[in-house]
Structure 1
């Protein structure tokens, strides 16, 4: 029922396509993952299933991407998600070089709101960076790519006080907290470090710690203090120093001090509730002439010829069939309610 229109992106295990429902004309982002590439590592299987589970459960936050369908045939897994036509925030950052404090705070309000929501459900996101933040048609932020997110067996306030239950060294080093890179146990506060890194990135055009190799970056993250350019305001330095504290025990605990966080001078330009209610004119409004053309995505991907990619669509004859890989992916399929799909499309 879904016609591929263009390629939106590509990762290690597959591609993301813009697809159109032939019956309704509605557009979706279809993430395709090759089973053969995933099953070579149990961690990959675990993370793939985790992404599907988390997205099927987290359905009510406006800054988190929506999952509508999950299915699999004999060779691939498919996640059919909300199509976010504005493209990556990273793309606009490259164009603008850096954003002023007011613009930056607009996006940080939305990122922090999404992270806090995830934490309430016991989920550490673990991969916050501008590439995973996209803009919808109006210019509001949507958090995407939950492949590295991890759900705790606990949730809510009890989890905030029992904070260190993740162990994997994963994520993008420039945005990873020191405790993650050192191989220590960590929890929600690692996400708040990443928020500090993204805040710094938006304000200056680069993450606070960069280098020519992962080792060099890791060394800086663990040992060095961030260096602020002269134009970074006092208000911006305050929030950055609170979030970029290398000691997670002393790092600003946004989950526990949410009211205090919202009142930081850095956020003086906007009211959180006004951003939530979408009554603010976003600082960047994507230019969209034709939703089907994916104009705000990297031409490296959108220029790919579908005829050269052997795109045959979903094999309905082998959907959920009993292959040797079935044990790995049993329970993967998911269908959101029609009312849920209709409410977002």
Structure 2
């Protein structure tokens, strides 16, 4: 006898044919249990497999399976007749007090929820295991109260993965994936980062993940990615974030090879305002690089990925001890392990500005030891074609002594903003997004993912047939759930209108840092030692 899953008492279902030809019909089955509604997609053969599994499980008093031998499935009339027969059959077996306890039935009604397949051949019904057997325990009343008792966290949850339509994979990293999603009943597009708890624990990144959640929960800035929701299940963590269809700055820099001084100045200025905001909140970013700078549809930047950030840092040169960051952008004081503070972000800004202007980081070597020696000891080579103001700010941002570095003094961002390189920037207008952008991403619409790597966007979104419901015990991640103010208002509207929809299926995820989905998150590219600071 196979191990039984927790029983979901299905109360209603409705079938609609969504694709058909002479040989195959794909049916969309809308399933409801305790006001939770989701959709699964099944072919006729899947119904037959379910019937066989119920027979093998020795379920008594099964109704006869529909006989469609003499029905022409190539006509609309025939398709509708089959639909009615299948729907009536499902309703009949749902009334059988034993069926609801059979794994095959539960998986048939829940697996791959809200995941319309790209093609019929892609549907995997291996979840209907041939060793399923019937457990003759009494099923109880089977009413909605039972379902609420069985899954109280679903009944009380504000938002779950089932509230979202999964559209595309837009990134993948060592901890998981990032999906382009849309909340049911809304037009707004989000990025959903899904992290695997087991991997996070195995790689000793629990505190970093908590830090990212804490920072995202309290940041509200036009040039920093905002978090709309956060929630968790037994196995996964979910961040629902602003979607930036312009993709990573890394993508655009690779395409253009290098940017003009005007374009580089604009991005550097918006990043400066973002860093200023973080520093005022006592946060050192520590992972500024092209992969972590996103572009919005309007051409403005958004910083993302706060997994390596550190809270409680108010000084320029002390407060943090970790060997932490991306090799090409590490400040000398991090490499020297002498302690570091907010000034490391100004070094990284200098490195990023240098790369935007030249196409290369200021110090580069495929050999990591040689790279680190260059960062600690070599002088930066300034291309002769750069303007004097540009050359000067690069020299001052890439000053190896954090106390002498531009931005490294008590004035922090104010000294950076006052540099002649930024003399053309009206900082108030920049903050209000009133200055013209130097480049407008060629985004067709809200769903456009052309600025993301096809390596990710071509990945299938169909997940394994596992059912991970929201957990009641937030093991290692207490207080993770979050609903932003605007999102909370939308949620209340949906609750009042009874428009909320919830899946019974959690999507696959080994989630990536978004928001934009850079290839590496805390991987060998992003390093962090001495993790407990």
Please confirm whether the aligned pair reaches a TM-score higher than 0.5, indicating the same fold: yes
Partner of 2:470: 319
Deviations along 1:57-111, one digit per CA (max 9) or x if unpaired, are 112x100110011111111100001111111111111111111211111011111
Tell me: higher relative CO, structure 1 or 2? Use CA pairs within 8 A at least 6 residues apart. 1
Number of the residue aligned with 2:436: 281
Distance 1:266 1:340, change over 3 A: farther
CA offset at residue 341 of structure 1? 6.9
Distance 1:66 1:311, change over 3 A: farther
- Cα shift readout 1:119-139 (whole Å, capped 9, x = no counterpart): 111100000011100111100
Structure 1 pair 184/201, CA: closer, same or farther in 2 (3 Å)? Answer: same
Aligned to 1:103: 263
1:222 to 373, 376, 379: 376
Matches of 1:151 and 1:174, distance apart in 2: 23
Of 30, 33, 46 in structure 1, the residue corresponding to residue 207 of structure 2 is 46
Q: 1:125 corresponds to which residue?
A: 285
1:68 alignment counterpart: 228
In the alignment, which residue of structure 2 is the partner of 1:186? Answer: 340
Deviations 1:271-292 (A, max 9, x none): 2222212122211101111321
1:151-300 counterparts in 2 under 5 A?
Answer: 151-152=311-312, 159-160=314-315, 163-253=317-407, 256=411, 258-300=413-455
Q: TM-score, length-normalised on structure 1?
A: 0.90
User: C-alpha separation between the residues in 2 aligned to 1:69 and 1:172?
Assistant: 28
Ranges in structure 2 where 5+ consecutive residues have no aligned partner: 1-162, 491-533
Contact 1:173 1:181 in 2 (8 A): no
Shift of 1:234: 1.0
**Structure 1's 300 and 220: CA in aligned 2 closer, same or farther, altered over 3 A?**
same
How far is 1:340 from its partner?
A: 6.9
CA distance 1:115–1:340, shift in 2 (3 Å): farther
Task: Please say which structure displays the higher CA radius of gyration.
Answer: 2
| Compared CA separation, residues 64 and 341, structure 1 to 2 (3 A) | farther
Question: Residues of 2 paired with 1:94 and 1:74: CA distance?
Answer: 39
| 1:286-327 Cα deviation digits (max 9, x unpaired) | 1111321312111111111213x5387xx6x631323xxx33
Alpha-carbon separation, structure 2, partners of 1:311 and 1:290: 32
Question: Is this contact kept in 2: 1:68–1:335, CA < 8 A?
Answer: yes
Deviation per CA, 1:200-257, whole angstroms, max 9, x where unpaired? 0111011100101222211110110111122122111110111111011111226615
> What TM-score does the superposition give when structure 2 sets the normalisation length?
0.59
Which of 22, 31, 34 pairs up with 2:193?
31
Structure 1 ranges of 4+ moved more than 2 A: 257-263, 309-312, 337-342
Q: Is the 8 A contact 2:333 2:340 kept in 1?
A: yes
Partner of 1:135: 295
| TM-align CA RMSD | 1.8
Aligned residues: 327
In 1: Cα distance, 2:488 partner to 2:338 partner: 40
Kindly state the Cα deviation for residue 179 of structure 1 after the two structures are TM-superposed.
0.6
Distance 2:487 2:478 in 1: 26
Contact (CA 8 Å) 1:102, 1:269: kept in 2 or not? no
**1:239, 1:340 → 2: CA distance?**
43
